[in-house]
Structure 1
Amino acid sequence: MAPDESTDVLTDFQRWFFTMSRLKSFNWAFVEKQLQSSKSSEFISEILKQTCLHPLCRAVPPSFRYRKSFLSELIRLQEAAGCDPLDELYDALAEVVGAAEGSECYKTYFLPCGGAISLLEKVALISGGTTGLVTWEAGLFLAEWALDHREFFTDRTVLELGSGVGLTGVAVCRSCSPKKFVFSDCHPAVLQALRDNVRLNGLGEGASPATSVRELDWTTATGEELREIGADVVIAADVVYDPAVMRGLVKLLRVVLTGSAPRPDVLLCCAVRNPQTYDGLRRQLESCGIKPEVLDGAVSRVFPYDRTANMELIRLTAADELQPSDATETI
C-alpha cells in the first residue's frame, strides 16, 4: 500500500470510528490486503493509535458496544492473516468486554480547520419522549453548507430553532465567526444536553462568539421575544419529521419573517423521508404567505453520515403582501 493511501485509510478510520459510523462503511479490504502482504500487525497498531488508543477515546469515548465490535473485527482480520498477536489490541478489547453499556455515548466530528466537535448523545434514537438527543442527517448537511458559506454567518446574530444536541450550532460558532449564536429548544432534557455540549466545546459565558441556550416553545413564543433576540439569521434542521409540530413551526416562522426590520435570512434544512409530510410543510408555508425557495448545489463532504436521504435546503422569504405581526402576538 502506498504511503499516501495508507494515510488516507487511517484518516478515514479515525473519522468513522469517532462518529460511530456503521462498521460496513470502513475500508476493511485495505486492512486485509495490508495484513496479508506484510504478515505484520503494524498497520493495526497504527489504526489503534488513531482510534481506541487516541487521547480523544479516553476523554470522549464512543460506546462500549461499538468499541467492542470494532476491536473484534480487527482481531478477526489479524487472526485470519496469520499475524502475530498484538498485545495492545487484546488489552483494548479486555477493557470493553463486560463493561456495562450506558444510555449515553460521545460522537466526535473533525473540522476542516482543525479541532473537533464532541457531543454527548443518547444511544437510543428516541429517549425520554424526544428525538432531540441525537444528531440527525439534516443537521450535518446544514453544518456542511455553513462551512461552505461562512460569510453568510460572519458577524451576524444567529438563532437556531430545535438545536438538539448542538452539532450545527457548534460548527457555525467554531468555523463561521458569528457575532452571537442563540441555541434553542423546548424539551428540558434537550436543553440540559445543549448546555453541557456547549460547555464541552469551549463555548458559553466569556467565550467568543457570545452564545446562549434558551427555551423557546414554538407554540407560546411571542414577537417581542423574537425581537429581543434580534436574529439576522434563523436556521433549523430536521424539525419537520412530525406533522403534529408543523403548525406551530410555521406560525413561528411567520412571526420571525414579519416581526422586525430588516427581515432575517431564514434557512430550513429537511431530510425528505416522507414526501407527503414535506409537501404538507410547503403548503402550510405558502398558505401563511411564506415563499420557500430550494437552494441547489452540492456541499463539501466533511462529516461521515448516511447520505441516502434526499436533502432539501430551503430559504424562506415573506410574500410582499404578508403583514407584520403584532409585537405581542402569541403564536
Structure 2
Amino acid sequence: MEHSERNRVNVLRDFQGSFFAMSRLVSFPWTFLEKDLESNKSSDLISDILKQTCLHSLCRKFPPSVRFRRLFLSELIRRQEAADCDPLDELYDALAEVVGAEETAECYKSYLLPSGDAVSLLENVALISEGTTGLVTWEAALYLAEWALAHRQTFAGRTVLELGSGVGLTGITICRSCSPDRYVFSDCHPSVLQKLRNNIQLNSLAEQASPAVSVEDVDWTAATEERLKQIGADTVIAADVVYDPDVVGSLVKLLSKILRCPSPGAPPEVLICSTIRNQETYSGFKQQLEKAGISHHVIPGPVSRVFPYNRVSDIEMIKLYR
C-alpha cells in the first residue's frame, strides 16, 4: 500500500512537471493512469491530476498555451472514456473553458524546482520567431540548470556572467537556488532582452536585494576587454550558443577576451553547454578554441533529473581554460 501510494505521488508530480513545462504528451506517465483506471474503475486519479495541472493556482496565474491544454484535457477524457469510468464534470468543464479560448503567439512555461518553487517564463509558441531562436527554452539550458543545482558552490557568492541568456531559465534557476552575489544576464537581440527583463520581473528577481541582477546588451563582436573587466565575472556560462557556424568565430574571440581579463585573484571559470545538433559545427568550434590557445575538458554527466525534456539529445558540457 505504501509503495503504491508513493508511486501515485511520483506520477502526480510527473504529470504536473510535464504539464507546466508543456512537454510532449507522449512523454506523460499514461501507463500508470491506464492501469489505475482499469483496476479501480474510478476517476479519482484523474481528479487528482486535474488539481495538480489545469485547476492548480499556477495554471491560473501562468497558463500553458490554449492548444496544449486542449490537447491534454482531450487525452485525459479519451482515456477515461476508454476505461468506462463515471464521467467527471470538472474535466469537461475545464475543456469547455479552453475550447473557445483564443490562441496567442506567447504562452507560459513553468519549471518546478526541487524546493517546490517554480520558474515561470513567458515564451514564444514558435521555436523561431522575430529572426531569433532566443525566445524559447532549449535542452542545453535545462541541462545546465540541472548541473548548477548539483554544483551550487560554482556560483555561491560569485559574480556570474551568462552569455546568450535567452528567456532566462538557467539564470533564474541559479539566482533562486545557488546564492550568487551578482548575476549578469546578457544577449544582443532586442526582443530577447525585453523578454528577459519581463521574465526577471515575473519571477520577482528585480525586487530582491540579493543577488544583484542586471540585463546587459553584450554584442559578441563589439564587447571590449574594458567592458568585460567592468563586469568582473568569476564564473561565465553559456547554453546552446554553438549552433551557427557564422557566429562561432565571434564567440571564440569573446571567450579569449574573457579568459585574458580575469577577476581579481583567480581566472574566471568558463562553462559552455551545447546540444550537438551538427557535429561539423561543434567540431569547428573546438578547433577554433584550440587555434585561439584555449584548452577544454569535458565535464562528464549525467545530471540529476529535475526538469522534463528530451534526454535523447546529445548534450556536452565543457570547461575552458588557458
TM-score, structure 2 length as denominator? 0.97
Equivalence for 1:75:
77
The 2-side partners of 1:131 and 1:111 are apart by 24
Matches within 5 A, 1:283-294: 283-294=287-298
Structure 2 letter corresponding to 1:36: E
- Contact 1:139–1:168 at 8 Å: present in 2 too? yes
Q: 2-side partners of 1:298 and 1:235: how far apart?
A: 18
1:311 Cα offset (Å): 1.2
Matched residue, 1:188 = 190
Alignment deviations for residues 8-44 of structure 1 (CA, whole Å, 9 cap, x no partner) = 1111100100001110011112112211222221111
Q: What does the per-residue CA deviation read over 1:84-125, in whole Å, with 9 as the maximum and x for residues that have no partner?
A: 111100000001102221000111111112211001100000
User: For residues 42 and 264 of structure 1, what CA distance do their matches in structure 2 show?
Assistant: 53
Match of 1:263 in 2: 267
- Equivalent residue pairs, number: 318
Using the aligned pairs only, state the percent identity.
Answer: 65
Deviations 1:148-168 (A, max 9, x none): 100111000000000000000
TM-score by length of 1: 0.94
Q: Secondary structure at the match of 2:273?
A: strand
Deviations 1:260-286 (A, max 9, x none): 353211000011111101100000011
CA distance in 2, matches of 1:181, 1:288: 27
CA shift digits 1:125-144 (9 cap, x unpaired): 00100000000000111111
Which residue of 1 is the match for residue 126 of structure 2? Answer: 124
Task: Give, in angstroms, the shift of residue 248 of structure 1.
Answer: 0.8
Structure 2 residue 239 is the aligned partner of structure 1 residue 234: no
- 1:248 aligned residue: 250
| Aligned-partner Cα distance in 1 for 2:233–2:207 | 19
For structure 1, list consecutive stretches of 5 or more residues without a partner in the other structure: 319-331
Question: What SS does structure 2 have at the residue aligned with 1:219?
Answer: coil
Once residues 165 and 6 of structure 2 are traced to their aligned partners in structure 1, the CA distance between those partners, rounded to angstroms, is: 38
**Number of the residue aligned with 2:280:** 276
| Cross-structure match for 2:316 | 312
* CA deviation after TM superposition for structure 1 residue 297, in Å: 3.0
CA deviations 1:50-69 (Å, max 9, x no partner) are 00000000000100000000
**Unpaired runs of 5+ in structure 2?**
none
Does 224-233 or 202-211 show the bigger shift? 202-211
Give, in whole Å, the separation in 2 of the partners of 1:245 and 1:205: 34
What is the CA-CA distance between 1:194 and the residue it aligns to?
0.3
Judge conservation of contact 1:205–1:211 (CA < 8 Å) in 2.
no
Bigger shift: 81-90 or 58-67?
81-90
